[in-house]
Structure 1
């Protein structure tokens, strides 16, 4: 049994940062520790993730908008650091763990000033901006991929490969078999563009699926997450093509949808990749081209090279290209099941445990496993 300690988790307010932070919070709480979350207004209101965790909103500006914008951001970050110091004086954290995003910066800056142990976790295959800013000062860098771009050589000695923690409900899918699929059975497709949806998927997927051979198209059953402004149009497209489809802006039962999906068509965000590899689901991935440092393309590389996914750059993502890739992936049931196994082979199901181990042992570097050093 671990000695109960206090830990502060600091994360930006997007799902990519909040989901792994929530998974770590749950693991630390299960070990008897006390956890506080520092984030922005979005993060503390994230549905269902931090209901049992005390939360704090700190001001944090985004470094954008030229010199005036930088000055405003700097002022907010200084105010956030001051508030974090006051929080730490009362909460007395054993360590502060950052998950990226600008709201994490003031919390880490306060920890540096108070000489508290610090860890950052990087969800993507490219080190994010805030994590790059603080990488030289933190005690350890937890990574989700064996190879992480933008990680300086002098910082690699303190990098540890742990993976990207996912929710327990997703991790549980690892114990469930890939859904059986016979030649005449229903073929279930899940389309998801992350927490905000993706208009390009709504533009292309219905027409791409309509181009499949008739015997394949008639077997389709689709769940499609779409932006609110796209829903009516997408629903009409599927109806025109006589493809059964459920359209929604938010899928609260996403783990169950993932459980029954034979193929997932998605962006390549860090949480999406982590969930696909945890569950073992084949995918067609369309990386977001505007993602910082094109990190979604890099995220998709491991699962694609392993044979668990096919990646289509957005500028090549057309209805005909989607139909072609769907046929290659979906018409051979043995190949499809093999792709599911390949996706599963990329999963790191012990990510929450390994990250919690790193957090607990941050004051004892000799206890860290050197075999987890990222390349």
Structure 2
């Protein structure tokens, strides 16, 4: 098997955060002449965006929760998944197995170790995920999306490679487009999303927070918001009561075109969201999911916030509980407390929007700060790392702290900054 015609197996869990970078890598490896197969679960096989050439192999994957009584059945499913993946390896003969996190990656990667096939994992978040953490010792390389990743032990530093988080080609195509013109009297386009299923807290606080803006600024708003299906009519009524024009939907197929026109993003801080915002350079107000494992969404915001490209608002855990699950007196107290918290969040959101929107030059600077956090070569650098297995030595250019990689990113940022200054 030549370098131009190798076989690779990608293994990813059934969420968009795991699957989007897997799809991006698959497309890049296919473009380079390699053959690629995907190992996932039923949810992963149903995620939209899978390239037509990519065959998905659905395997059982056990979930080890907090209840020890369920561990034996979970282990049984893991071993079933391992056996199925080993049979795939026997036919496909991969040069390497690449895991993107999620439970289906676990049996595939332990199968790779058993078959003595080189393996690596890609971590999309700023906290090493549970599966990747478990496998960190046995894999040959760990690709990261952030310079600093929590829960990644220092003893693994020699196998860590900073590549970034691959994004869709349609989004990456916007990277060299200028930030939409934003002035003191022009349209103010706001995009609100909460991940693939929306976020109820955003449906409750964003309309109210926007309604608190001064009339002159509120009258310039043009809002696009993704909502849950069960919330959409209530959100529409909220915006209508506030006199704010808003386009609502449960899913937008042309999200990249909406992102292209956006002046300000408001939403969750999932890995793919951060990667896309930094790829195109859009300022953001981020509200991390408070129940995310290891609080990884809050960690995801840090680089962008510290650079000046985003602001973060915390959602207290008290807003997560459902009052309907409690007896009447406690439920009423909980609803009152939640109402107060949401009101404070709406006021904070209004304040943060005003800080940005009242200073058009500052808004453009925040956009550029976000852009500087992007890693536009993520998919090619990850593909280079993957190709290093069975071929030449791993490329120093993509090692963490590699001077050439850093120079390439900084050089692109400088050129982009100069082009924007010329445009002004």
TM (norm. structure 2) is: 0.86
Aligned to 1:133: 134
Aligned to 2:408: none
**C-alpha separation between the residues in 1 aligned to 2:53 and 2:196?**
22
- How many residue pairs were aligned? 375
Aligned to 2:359: 332
Change (3 A) 1:143 1:374: farther
Aligned to 1:227: 228
**C-alpha separation between the residues in 2 aligned to 1:140 and 1:365?**
15
Three-state SS of the structure 1 residue aligned to 2:21 is helix
Aligned to 1:343: 370
Aligned to 1:288: 289
- Paired residues of 2:122 and 2:142 also in contact (CA < 8 A): yes
Change (3 A) 1:70 1:365: farther
- Paired residues of 1:6 and 1:34 also in contact (CA < 8 A): yes
- Paired residues of 1:119 and 1:138 also in contact (CA < 8 A): yes
- What does the per-residue CA deviation read over 1:229-262, in whole Å, with 9 as the maximum and x for residues that have no partner? 1111001100111111011111111111110000
Aligned to 2:29: 28
**C-alpha separation between the residues in 1 aligned to 2:397 and 2:167?**
24
- Paired residues of 1:199 and 1:230 also in contact (CA < 8 A): yes
**C-alpha separation between the residues in 1 aligned to 2:49 and 2:167?**
14
Aligned to 2:393: 366
- Paired residues of 1:287 and 1:296 also in contact (CA < 8 A): yes
Q: Which moved more, 1:203-212 or 1:315-324?
A: 315-324
**C-alpha separation between the residues in 2 aligned to 1:292 and 1:309?**
22
Aligned to 2:309: 308
**C-alpha separation between the residues in 2 aligned to 1:246 and 1:52?**
35
Question: Highest CA radius of gyration, 1 or 2?
Answer: 2
**C-alpha separation between the residues in 1 aligned to 2:15 and 2:361?**
37
Aligned to 1:76: 77
- What does the per-residue CA deviation read over 1:333-368, in whole Å, with 9 as the maximum and x for residues that have no partner? 100000000000000000000000000002357332
Three-state SS of the structure 2 residue aligned to 1:189 is strand
- Paired residues of 1:139 and 1:362 also in contact (CA < 8 A): no
**C-alpha separation between the residues in 1 aligned to 2:89 and 2:279?**
35
- What does the per-residue CA deviation read over 1:278-307, in whole Å, with 9 as the maximum and x for residues that have no partner? 010000000111111101111000000000
Aligned to 1:267: 268
- Paired residues of 2:9 and 2:98 also in contact (CA < 8 A): yes
**C-alpha separation between the residues in 2 aligned to 1:342 and 1:67?**
46
Three-state SS of the structure 2 residue aligned to 1:3 is helix
**C-alpha separation between the residues in 1 aligned to 2:4 and 2:254?**
35
Deviation at 1:50, TM superposition (A): 3.2
Deviation at 1:46, TM superposition (A): 1.1
**C-alpha separation between the residues in 2 aligned to 1:256 and 1:249?**
16
Aligned to 1:118: 119
Deviation at 1:182, TM superposition (A): 2.1
Change (3 A) 1:364 1:91: closer
**C-alpha separation between the residues in 2 aligned to 1:278 and 1:180?**
18
Aligned to 1:41: 42
Q: Which runs of 5+ in 2 are unaligned?
A: 317-340, 403-424
- What does the per-residue CA deviation read over 1:153-203, in whole Å, with 9 as the maximum and x for residues that have no partner? 111110000000000011011011100122221100000001111111001
**C-alpha separation between the residues in 1 aligned to 2:260 and 2:382?**
25
Identify the structure with bigger relative contact order (alpha carbons < 8 Å, sequence gap 6+).
Answer: 1
Aligned to 1:211: 212
Three-state SS of the structure 1 residue aligned to 2:213 is coil
RMSD of equivalent CA atoms: 1.4
Deviation at 1:369, TM superposition (A): 1.0
**C-alpha separation between the residues in 2 aligned to 1:30 and 1:11?**
20
**C-alpha separation between the residues in 1 aligned to 2:249 and 2:242?**
18
- Are 1:321 and 2:321 matched, yes or no? no
- Paired residues of 2:212 and 2:350 also in contact (CA < 8 A): yes
- Paired residues of 2:279 and 2:374 also in contact (CA < 8 A): yes
